[in-house]
Every structure is written in C-alpha cells, then in structure tokens.
C-alpha cells in the first residue's frame, strides 16, 4: 500500500496540476488530477487563496447561462513550486 501524502505534497500536487495545464484549470479537473474529494479540495483551495498561491476567477462560457470558475496559479504559487522542487532534490540527494 502506498504511503499517504503529506500536507505539503498535496499542495505541491495541486499547484503542479494547475501549472501543467498552462496555469489555468477548472475545479472539477483539478479535483480529478489531484485525486482529492470535493470537500478536501475546497479546504485546500481556501487555504491556497488565503496564502495568495492561487486565485479563482469566473468567466462566462458561450453556451452556459451561469458563469463558470477556473483556478489560476499566481507568481507566488509558481515560486512555491520552484522552491519545493529544490528542497525535494536536496533531500533526495541525501536519501532522505
């Protein structure tokens, strides 16, 4: 059985999923890519918004009457990803 992801690894997975989709992703797609429940994802999104790592924007889809939402990564979020990758490389180099 695989080990559970830590809180930081979950945040990294969420931000990486957004970055891999060009910096913008729909919440439902993010839920599937990060393998989280709707409730848990919303908890993490709230935290990431407060820490200014992501923003949520509404847009009007052509075929829908109600606005849709997208999650966007901020420059601060991209900085977090870069630093987290550096830390991961450092710990991996020492086998930790």
pTM check: above 0.85: yes
**Does the domain formed by 7-93 have CATH 1.10.10.10?**
yes
- CA 63-32-96 angle, to 5 degrees, is 145
Q: Show me where the domains of the chain are located.
A: 7-93
Rounded CA-CA distance 27/38 in Å is 9
Summarize pLDDT for 24-82 with one digit per residue, the tens.
999 999 999 999 999 999 999 999 999 999 999 998 878 878 889 999 999 999 999 99
């Amino acid at each position: 059985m695989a080990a559970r992801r830590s809180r930081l690894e979950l945040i990294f997975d969420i931000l990486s999923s957004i970055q891999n989709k060009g910096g913008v992703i729909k919440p439902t797609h993010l839920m599937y890519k990060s393998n989280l429940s709707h409730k848990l994802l919303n908890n993490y999104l709230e935290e990431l918004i407060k820490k200014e790592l992501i923003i949520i924007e509404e847009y009007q889809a052509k075929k829908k009457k109600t606005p849709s939402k997208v999650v966007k990564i901020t420059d601060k979020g991209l900085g977090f990803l870069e630093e987290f990758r550096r830390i991961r490389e450092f710990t991996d180099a020492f086998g930790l």
